[in-house]
Amino acid sequence: MANDLAALSNELAAVVEQTGKSVVAIHARPGFPSSGVFWRPGIIVTAEHTIRREEEITVTLPDGSNAPATLAGSDSGTDLAVLKVEGPGEPVKPAANPPIPGNLALAVARSEDSGVNASMGIVSAVSGDWRTWRGGRLDHYIRLDLTMFPNTSGGAVVNTDGAAIGIATSALSRIAGVAIPAATVNRVLDQILARGHVTRGYLGVGLQPVELPDHHKGLIVLSLEPEGPAAKAGVLIGDILVSLGGTTVDDTEDIQAVLEGHAVGQTVEAEFLRGGNSRKIAIAIGERPRRS
């Protein structure tokens, strides 16, 4: 039994040591650093909420040296930010599949003073697509039952094989820490490197669910953004949206789900009720304005 525990202890320590070669400390907020992970050569991924300034960002690299970093872009919806840096660091190996509840998980972070630090726990819950309170979509909801220290956010969450489940964040749930899945990191990273931000479609309408006489629901248009996609297409206040892209909609979440599957600029057919009559309107999806 003692030998088994010693073997497990050594295996976990080896995983942390190896993962530490990919983890940096990021100095981009007052008080204390956060962590980041070399996801690709020269590319560091971290938690967006820990980046409080866009300039004069430095990172403590795995070899202990400090180097300047450039903010390539960020996405508050998924709480991801991307930095570019020149310096030594091995990219992590993303896990091929999401974990299952009960799997052991290690959160590996870095401090300028103490170096690599880690906490261990389990994956307490996993589900499919999950929309964050910030409006982004994660490919999986991965809840962690482990200690989230002040510098854990932005660090690597790895399994016992050392493969990265995702990026640790304390900002997306009030219940527990969350791992931003590796699949989401790859998707968002590609967009940020291509254009500096993540594009999200929008219609430019204010909607509210309403009950319809046939016991179905729809979404009544309460407001229209001037010169927005819906207004340009001829949508009027008071119209009731019942389907979008061939999908029945009765909640604003349904709208977001449909828009996730369409590119900005693509035309989507919307079915409205106007004066009791059905009307189909083609709307060219616009790009949601970014917060300044």
C-alpha–C-alpha distance, residues 178 and 232, integer Å:
40
The pTM (predicted TM-score) of the whole model is: 0.82
In tens, the pLDDT along 269-279 reads 999 999 889 99
Nearest CA to 45 among 65, 21, 74, 66?
Answer: 74
Token couple for 174:
């009030």
- Where does the pLDDT of residue 291 fall: very low under 50, low under 70, confident under 90, or very high at 90 and above? low
User: What is the arithmetic mean of pLDDT over 3-15?
Assistant: 91
- Report the pLDDT value the prediction gives residue 276, as an integer from 0 to 100: 86
pLDDT in tens, 217-270: 999 999 999 999 999 999 999 999 999 999 999 888 889 888 887 888 899 999
- Longest Cα–Cα distance of the chain, Å, equals 77
Q: For residue 163, what pLDDT is reported?
A: 97
Q: For residues 234 and 232, what is the distance between their CA atoms, to the nearest angstrom?
A: 5
Q: How confident is the model at residue 292 (pLDDT cuts 50, 70, 90)?
A: very low
**Which domains are delineated in the chain?**
2-195 (2.40.10.120), 201-287 (2.30.42.10)
pLDDT tens readout for residues 50-66: 999 999 999 999 999 99
Contact assessment for residue 279 and residue 272, using Cβ atoms and an 8 Å cutoff:
yes
Element (H, E) at 270: strand 267-274
Q: What value does the mean pLDDT take over residues 204-219?
A: 90
- Encoding tokens for residue 256? 């977001």
Position 211 pLDDT exceeds 80: yes
pLDDT given at position 200: 83
pLDDT of residue 73: 95
**Which residues on adjacent β-strands are paired with residue 71?**
83
Q: Give the pLDDT band of residue 151 (cuts 50, 70, 90).
A: very high
pLDDT in the model for residue 213:
85
Asked if residues 118 and 155 have their Cβ atoms less than 8 Å apart, the reply is no
Q: What is the mean pLDDT of the chain?
A: 93
pLDDT (average), residues 149-175 = 96
DSSP label at residue 15? H
Confidence label for 1 from pLDDT (cuts 50, 70 and 90): low
Q: What pLDDT is recorded for position 288?
A: 82
Distance CA(74)–CA(200), nearest Å, equals 13
Tell me what pLDDT residue 49 has: 97
Query: pLDDT, tens digit, for every residue of 64-121?
Result: 999 999 999 999 999 999 999 998 889 999 999 999 999 999 999 999 888 999 999 9
Res 214 pLDDT > 90: no
**Mean pLDDT of all residues in 169-192:** 96
